[in-house]
Structure 1
Amino acid sequence: MIASRWSQKPKMNGTNDSRLFLKTMLSSNFTGLTGDIRFKEGHLSQTPILRVINVVNNNYTELDFWVPNLKFFKSLQDIEKGSDVARNILNGPVVWPGGLTTLNNNDNVPLGWNIPSEKNPLKVRIPLKPAFENFVKEESQGKYVGLCIEIFEIIQEQLKDKYSGLPYEYRPFDDVSYDKVLQNFADLEYDAIVGDVTILEARSKNVSFTQPYIYRVRFITHTSS
């Protein structure tokens, strides 16, 4: 809505356009799809209230209301009562991808949709005998260091506020092959592996790899006649 309003303004040129654009956005005062759009100290002055819908094929069902930091509410009246009536889960039934339907509990939520908790943290595999110890190394009992560990823990730090702390626990291994460990992911025994794992087509059938963190270079060889 803000972008739409801005597009209706006269076209401007010059180095101050970005500042004027920001000033125009922050001075916005109108009603949009999510309610009143106005800013105070650089933030929306009114906490948005969003309606969660469950889309199935060409139809949809209206579920709960969601308020940032306050979880789910069954009705607008419940929102006024605050966190005392807030719910951690959607009031079902909810139809998930694949056709699985859940009611008012988390028991049958498809694996992969569950948010890790202190009771059920992410199970992260750590190789104890890597090919290159600068990627991953056991510094002491239960203490791991290296580039891969640093990247993982930085990402976890960035995401933990959005995903209930994103708790995890390291599960080291040294007596099984990488192929066997990766097969465990297909069997839903573990959630992630942190280390220098070679990306192979056969392995990609069971797991999803992150992008390589080294430069990818292609070489073309030419033989002179």
Structure 2
Amino acid sequence: MVPSAFEIINVIGKAERVIGYWTPERGLSRNLYSKGKAAYSTSKNKLKEPIWPGDTTQQPKRLRIGVPLKTGFNEFIKVEWNPEGDIPIVSGFTLDVFLSVVEALPFPLPYEFIPFVNKTKQSAGTYNELLYQIKLKRFDAVVGDVTIIANRSSYVDFTLPYSESGITMVVLTKRDERDNMWIFLKPLSLELWLTTGIAFIFTGLVVWVLEHRENKVFRGKPVQQLGTTLWFSFSTLFLAHREKVVNNWTRFVLIIWIFMVLIISQSYTASLASMLTVKRLQPTFVDVKEIRKNGYFVGHQKNSFVKDFLLKDLNFNANMLKAYDTPEEYNDALSIGIRNGGVAAIFAEIPYVKLFLAKHCNKFQMVGPTYKTDGFGFAFPLQSPLVPYVSRAILKVTQDKDKMDEIERRNFGRETTCLDQASMVTSGGLSLPSFGGLFIITGVASISALLIYVTKFLYIHWPSSNTMDQERPFYMRILELAKHFDKEDPSAHHLNRAGPRVHPVPSVEIVGASPSIDDAHGHSRTSIEGSGDIIGDQDLNNHTLGSRAANIEPPHTPD
């Protein structure tokens, strides 16, 4: 049975209201049975006025939503034009999030997208200018990859962020230097090499001063003393020094010095082994100050607030900034190098950087500090009643991990960043500040020991210099004191080389009668014991025979 009429119902919450009918004969009409014969009509004016949300009969207008026109990073927001009706077609990550948010609202929200373009369908301005159209009431909202920052909040209200963000720096990576013949110099920075060399020489000089007057090893010709001092100092690096020291202050200095040498050598070995065995990506620049100091060009995303951030917060010169739009332009600008018109680094927001690195994982790196921002959000007029509703809907969507993963996978693919890129990044060689404390401790110890020793020497020997002729110049007294320092200290306990412990015994002079053999033995034993030395039995026998021979007179022959 075919129905002869249909009711047209206006749904109001959980209630309903009939606003008209439709019949095959008359089309739309307000009453089902009307007097007279009416012509067929499809006009909505034949129906009663519907009641819209808010208990009003005035049909609400669609929300005019402005969207930015981008030529790069279209994974976030992309605007195309339908060739048939010249109607904009919007797509991308931001749109998918917005559509999910609208579905989560407790009420319907009619809207239409209006691209922010000029008559030639090119971008009509920056993101700040796009947001300002809300204040001018040309747009009711803005949906796009819009970053929430303080100065924008003075003329628009932002929802809660739907994506985290922040500004970071992208630089070109160096090639792996494991095949470099000078890689053994890389573990330590130039400043650390120079400081360590100076410390070796200074420590050797301190040891020489402390040992020169008391230790025969550190005496001799000037060239020999210089060689011994340098050899002793540098051999401590391998704990290969064999020269013994006699001064307690020298021992104190060497304990601290060898401790520092051990730490530096172990750190050097570990760093070099890491460089030789692990393939690492080295960034060309890691410090913003270095780039700014040398006056290198830097890039930023076109029409982005990052330009103002570089000028006001990082104090870059406006002439050093270059704007880029697409990942391909990023790649070209960084690849050609600073000497060929390229840039040293590009500053961009983290979502764009991750997308860029996903395509060039082994060529570029994200380095340096991350400058925090509040993320991407949707913009509405100040005090708009829609902001709290949309913010709560954003929380529902972003907390649904499965939904967000699906949106990201649909727009970005499976990889949005380099896998474990942080583990591939390494800093330069070990720097001087890393060992600054050790050098300070060693220097203080060496200088303290040197000052104490010199003060003691001057206290003991300076009075003898005052006995000189008072008319002699002061520098002559200093030279005389230096000559005195160069002399060997007679009261010091010297380290003698290993040698025979047998001392020669002087011949015995015979006075008076010849002693007996027993007397000779006793006399020899007494002399030897008195000398404090030990003489072997053979020497003792020889001495006895010599004594006997001295007492034998040759036979007297008659004349």
Superposition TM-score, scaled by structure 1 size: 0.42
Give 1 or 2: higher helix fraction.
Answer: 2
Give 1 or 2: higher strand fraction.
Answer: 1
Higher relative contact order (CA 8 A, sep 6+): 2
Superposition TM-score, scaled by structure 2 size: 0.19
Q: Which has the larger radius of gyration?
A: 2
